[in-house]
């Protein structure tokens, strides 16, 4: 039994988690640290990152904060360089940085649409490119997509849904390019509705919708997403690449 559990460990590995100052990203950083990884946490909000690193350090997790913006390819390169300089390597990238928003398509401005795509899709691509330059065979990239990359939202989310569908297409293509030639596995995690800072005040109004449109009829929990992330980021998923793990309480199949 211990052999199987060992495959879910990340001892000696170094991970980058973007969008780590809150929500899923914060939880993902803690989850990877709890299974042995050293973690470089990145986001635009420096004070939040400092608080996270202090908390992780108190738990015996090696962590380092980097304030950056994934929409800048140069800052993505600098983040990867910092991870390698700080911890010696880069083995895991969790592309979690993202923005939401619900705007009717007939009112959405070009800038509003571009902002969402720039962060959610382009930022994922720039980070993957930067990571690839430093990663060795056996490394892993996990792109955080969404159930709305697979199915329509009950709310107007054209930019968000398009960007997350793009992340799934990007995941497949990068896996095809890099997994056999470079030994880098690339997969996507598609969370459903989870109680995080992004859903925050909307949890109440969303509850009825989630109850009606998902099999389990409830929001997901951070620990349920963490378990899926650990699976994708470790050798537990060593025969999986180019795939998407959907953890949405059955929302996308109703």
Q: Where along the chain do its domains lie?
A: 2-241
Determine the Cα–Cα distance for residues 170 and 228; give it in Å rounded to an integer. 20
Query: Looking at the DSSP assignment, which residues form a beta bridge with residue 40?
Result: 16, 64
| Number of residues in the chain | 254
Token output for 79: 């983040």
Tell me how far CA of residue 97 lies from CA of 19, 31, 100, 158, 233, in angstroms.
4, 17, 11, 18, 16
Mean pLDDT score, 107-130: 96
Active site residues: 160
Predicted pLDDT of residue 2: 63
Query: Looking at the DSSP assignment, which residues form a beta bridge with residue 16?
Result: 40, 93
Mean pLDDT score, 226-254: 97
φ, ψ dihedrals at 187, nearest 5°: -135, 170
Determine the Cα–Cα distance for residues 227 and 139; give it in Å rounded to an integer. 19
pLDDT at 182 over 80: yes
φ, ψ dihedrals at 43, nearest 5°: -175, 180
pLDDT at 201 over 90: no
Determine the Cα–Cα distance for residues 161 and 158; give it in Å rounded to an integer. 5
Can you tell me whether residue 65 is helix, strand or coil? strand
CATH of domain 2-241: 3.40.50.720
Predicted pLDDT of residue 202: 60
pLDDT at 110 over 70: yes
Residue 228 — pLDDT band, cuts 50, 70, 90?
Answer: very high
Mean pLDDT score, 203-214: 84
Q: Output b/e per residue, 137-160; b: 16+ Cβ within 10 A.
A: eebbbbbbbbbbbbbebebbbbbb
Q: Output b/e per residue, 86-119; b: 16+ Cβ within 10 A.
A: ebeebbbbbbbbbbbbebeeeebeeeebeebbbb
Count Cα neighbours of 197 within 13 Å in the Cβ-side half-sphere.
12
H or E segment to which residue 31 belongs: helix 23-34
Mean pLDDT score, 2-27: 94
Mean pLDDT score, 219-229: 97
Predicted pLDDT of residue 206: 83
**pLDDT digit string (tens) for 46-82?**
999 999 999 999 999 999 999 999 999 999 999 999 9
Tell me how many helices (H) and strands (E) the chain has. 9, 7
Determine the Cα–Cα distance for residues 140 and 184; give it in Å rounded to an integer. 6
**pLDDT digit string (tens) for 142-156?**
999 999 999 888 888
Can you tell me whether residue 63 is helix, strand or coil? strand
């Amino acid at each position: 039994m211990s052999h199987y559990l060992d495959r879910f460990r990340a001892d000696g590995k170094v991970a980058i988690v973007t969008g780590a100052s809150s929500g899923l990203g914060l939880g993902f950083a803690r989850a990877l640290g709890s299974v042995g990884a050293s973690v470089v946490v990145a986001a635009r909000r420096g004070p939040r990152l400092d608080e996270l690193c202090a908390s992780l350090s108190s738990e015996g997790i090696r962590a380092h904060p980097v304030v950056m913006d994934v929409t800048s390819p140069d800052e993505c390169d600098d983040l990867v360089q910092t991870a390698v300089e700080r911890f010696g390597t880069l083995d895991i990238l969790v592309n979690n940085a993202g923005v939401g928003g619900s705007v009717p398509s007939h009112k959405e401005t070009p800038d509003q649409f571009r902002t969402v795509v720039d962060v959610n899709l382009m930022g994922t691509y720039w980070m993957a490119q930067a990571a690839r330059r430093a990663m060795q065979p056996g490394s892993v990239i996990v792109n955080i997509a969404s159930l709305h990359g697979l199915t329509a939202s009950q709310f107007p989310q054209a930019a968000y849904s398009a960007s997350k569908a793009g992340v799934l297409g990007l995941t497949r293509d990068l896996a095809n390019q890099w997994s056999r030639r470079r030994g880098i596995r690339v997969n996507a995690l598609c969370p459903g509705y989870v109680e995080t800072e992004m859903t925050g005040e909307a949890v109440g109004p969303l509850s009825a919708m989630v109850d009606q449109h998902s099999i389990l009829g409830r929001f997901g929990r951070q620990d349920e997403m963490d378990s899926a992330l650990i699976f994708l980021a470790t050798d537990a998923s060593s025969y999986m690449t180019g795939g998407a793990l959907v953890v949405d309480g059955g929302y996308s199949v109703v």
